[in-house]
Amino acid sequence: MENVDRSIAVFSAVYLVGVITLAIIGNKQPDVYVTLSALIYFVYISVDDALRRSIRLMPISMIVFAAFIVAVIYRLSTMLG
């Protein structure tokens, strides 16, 4: 369980750095935060084997992917119309 705790702490730190970076830049678009969160999540679980082996991530992954698709569709609709 120690590896899972470390993995969750590292993921949280990476996520926090991403959100703080967007806030410092001055981004106020929520779709960018959702998209960044999804990308950080998918890259991190693909890299960290301990987290994938210990926790059932399929339901969480489906929810994150759905949120990513909704954010992309929202962004495209605002850009195109």
Domains in the chain, number: 1
Separation CA 57–CA 81 (nearest Å): 36
pLDDT band at 17 (very low <50, low <70, confident <90, very high): very high
For 22, the domain range is: 2-80
Separation CA 31–CA 63 (nearest Å): 15
76 to each of 44, 65, 79, 80, how far by Cα in Å? 26, 16, 5, 6
Q: 66: which 2 tokens?
A: 């759905």
**Per-residue model confidence as pLDDT tens digits over 27-57:** 999 999 999 999 999 999 888 887 777 777 8
Q: Side chain identity at 77, as an amino acid letter?
A: S
Indicate the pTM of the whole model.
0.81
Separation CA 8–CA 31 (nearest Å): 24
| Residue 68: Cβ within 10 Å count | 19
